[in-house]
Amino acid sequence: MQYEPFGFEKLDVWQKARRLASAIYGVTRRFPREEMFGLTTQLRRAGVSVAANIAEGTSRSSGKDQARFFEMAFGSLNEVATLLYIALDQEFITQDRLSALKSEIADIGRMLSGLRRTALERRR
């Protein structure tokens, strides 16, 4: 049975955010067990929040409402970056892994900025 994709599924930025969330789950699987309810959970939730807010923003009818969700996604993206630095400081990840993830984060950030700008230019 074939289904019609949701609008957000067609967005490159959502697809990248979804891959980032999956990468975060992979990275945090190697975190110490005592971090399960600390850094692990917070990092996973922030990563999921990026993709979720993009999806929710696309469902809004006004450009202003869409932009607000894209801003929340951007905030969660910055939270992910910060938490990854903390993971580096605690030696849970390597500098190479941080650099690779930061490259993905930067791409998503640029795309979100464009998406937000486009939403704000919409009338309605």
Domain extent listing, the chain: 9-121
74 in Cβ contact with 109 (< 8 Å): yes
pLDDT, one tens digit for every residue, the chain (124 residues)? 677 778 898 899 999 999 999 999 999 999 999 999 999 999 999 999 999 999 999 988 888 999 999 999 999 999 999 999 999 999 999 999 999 999 999 999 999 999 999 999 875 5
16-to-39, 74, 109, 113 alpha-carbon distances in Å: 22, 13, 10, 14
**Which CATH number among 1.20.1440.60, 2.130.10.10, 1.10.10.370, 2.40.50.140 corresponds to the domain 9-121?**
1.20.1440.60
Residue 7 is predicted with a pLDDT of 85
Cα(44)–Cα(62) distance, integer angstroms = 29
Phi/psi region, residue 2 (left: phi>0; alpha: psi -120 to 50; beta: rest), is beta
pTM score, whole prediction: 0.91
Residue 122 is predicted with a pLDDT of 78
Residue 124 is predicted with a pLDDT of 55
